[in-house]
Structure 1
């Protein structure tokens, strides 16, 4: 059966329209009711919707299309379900405390979520679209099971396990009332990486892209279609940039450091070793790539801040950031 042609042969317009409609509906509900219960859920579930929608519209059901669509839907189901469960248990999401009541700031977050979902979904969107499916019907799509396909599945599988296990470990740590209050989580995957869940998510989308571009290796496919498949590399690249420089690591590193700094030097500094414990943890634990502490700790700082990407701007400076934190705590400017 032939794929359905909807608006354009790459399914770019229809996926953008569906994403905008779904996210703006979520925004309207969240803004009207002033709560955070569905914010992350709508993000994760949107990936599921796009994967299923483009697979059904593509209407070709080749093994590669089915496998990639299922992998995306598994990833989306897990992250949407986990984030929904987490916010239901905690009651709210502190990330939105400063913007929840500001219409345009809150709307800006949802617009950013639209950009994230649509961009990161590009490999599955283009693979399932007529730009590739029409050619696949003519025999231009190599059978699933190439070395590239196998590598992609392995990369995705490793990333999915790392992200899933890391999220569970961190959630249990935060829910454990007996966990030490003056010590960052330094067990499990978090003993090897300060952000293992982000590393796992990056691997997942590199795996998806690796599988999705297999048809582009066939010289009989027009150059424009091959370029579209290769161009979907913006998906894993966007994921990397977002987590490394946007809403990922930058929003976690300094705020966490500030909490431990104030535990020691703040008005209610009841934990004299909290700040030192945090410093020791960051010195011996890789910021992203999982590495044993015995290997990471002795590495030169210049190597950590370049090749291993523990950039200087992630660091909490006691003199400047610490002073500002104390002033904020005291109600100063």
Structure 2
């Protein structure tokens, strides 16, 4: 059977419509009941839905298409399941405390989730589309097992293991009574990176992209199809940029530093060594790429800030940021 042509030959329109409908349905439920239990689950499960939908619509079950789609679905099941389990255990997601009651601010988050899911899913969407998969019937699709296939699967596998292990390690540590309160979690992969799940996720999506563009590497696809496949590089680039400059590292670094600073330096300081411990942790722990602490601590700051991406925007300034943090804490305590 030939693949179904739905709205366009790249499945761009149908995946936009499905993603928009799915996310807005999630928003309607979350807004109506004012809770966060399904927010991250809806985002993660949407990837599963798009991978399965485009694979079945494409109706050309080449090994590469099946493998790429299954890898995306495995990633989606893992992240959606873990995030749902975590929010059910904690009871709520404090990321939404300031926007949950504002219709347009809360809607804005879900619109951002539409953009995230659709953009990051592009490699497998285009791979499964008639513009690429249908050409395999004429022999233009290279046999599975090319260098791109192998590299892509290895990158995805390494990234998935890192992301999965890091999430499990931190969840267990944070729920253990033996974990010290005056220092960050430094178990397992967290000894070598301050954000190992983000590093793993970046590897996963570069792996999916490399696997998905394999049909273009032999030069037998039409130029328009090759351009579309190479253009899906926006998926791993978007993932990398989002985690480096958007809702990833920036939203974690300064708030975490602020918490440890106030433990030691605020009006209600209760852990005198917390800020000192945190500064030691920053000095010896890579921000993203896992490295042994003994090696990282000896590297010059210029290497850390350039090659290893420990950017100045992540830094908590004790003078400027510390003073404002203390004032905010005083104002909050005064209003309680």
In the superposition, the TM-score normalised over structure 1's length comes to 0.99
Name the SS for the 1:330 alignment partner.
Answer: helix
Question: Match for residue 319 of structure 1?
Answer: 319
Alignment of 1:90-169 (within 5 A): 90-169=90-169
Q: Secondary structure at the match of 1:298?
A: coil
1:69 maps onto 2:64 in alignment: no
1:24 paired residue number: 24
CA contact (8 A) 2:173 2:187 kept: no
Q: 2:224 corresponds to which residue? A: 224
Task: Give the corresponding residue for 2:261.
Answer: 261
Q: Unaligned 5+ residue runs, structure 1?
A: none
1:228-247 to structure 2, matched below 5 A, reads 228-247=228-247
SS at match of 2:183: coil
User: Partners in 1 of 2:31 and 2:175 — Cα distance?
Assistant: 28
Q: Tell me the C-alpha RMSD between the 2 structures.
A: 1.0
Q: How much does 1:173 deviate?
A: 1.3
Which SS does the other structure have where 1:176 is aligned? coil
Q: Which residue of 1 aligns with 2:280?
A: 280
Corresponding residue for 2:297? 297
SS at match of 1:170: helix
Aligned residue pairs total 333
Q: Measure the CA separation in 2 of the matches of 1:66 and 1:227.
A: 22
Task: Supply the distance in 1 between the matched residues of 2:138 and 2:6 (Cα, whole angstroms).
Answer: 20
Q: For 2:92 and 2:217, how far apart are their aligned partners in 1?
A: 47
- Aligned partner of 1:198 in structure 2 is 198
Shift of 1:218: 2.4
Where 1:324 maps in the other structure, the secondary structure is: helix
- The whole-number CA distance in structure 2 between the counterparts of 1:17 and 1:177 is 46
Cα offset, 1:138, TM superposition: 1.3
Q: What displacement does 1:130 show?
A: 0.5
Moved over 6 A (4+): none
* Residue 184 of structure 1 pairs with residue 184 of structure 2: yes
Aligned mates of 2:69, 2:246 — CA distance in 1: 27
Q: Distance in 1 between matches of 2:331 and 2:301?
A: 36
Write the deviation string for residues 111-136 of structure 1: whole angstroms up to 9, x where unpaired: 00000000000000000000101211
Distance in 1, Cα, partners of 2:266 & 2:275 = 11
Structure 2 counterpart SS, 1:331: helix
3-state DSSP of counterpart to 2:324: helix
Aligned twin of 1:40: 40
Q: Distance in 2 between matches of 1:194 and 1:23?
A: 31
So what's the TM-score if we normalise by structure 2?
0.98
Structure 2 portions without partners, runs of 5+ = none
Alpha-carbon separation, structure 2, partners of 1:95 and 1:173: 21
Question: CA offsets per residue over residues 144-199 of structure 1, 9 Å max, x none?
Answer: 11111011111100000000000001111111122100010112100000000000
Alpha-carbon separation, structure 2, partners of 1:94 and 1:173: 20
Counterparts of 1:321 and 1:103, CA distance in 2: 30
Query: Shift in Å at residue 249 of structure 1?
Result: 0.1
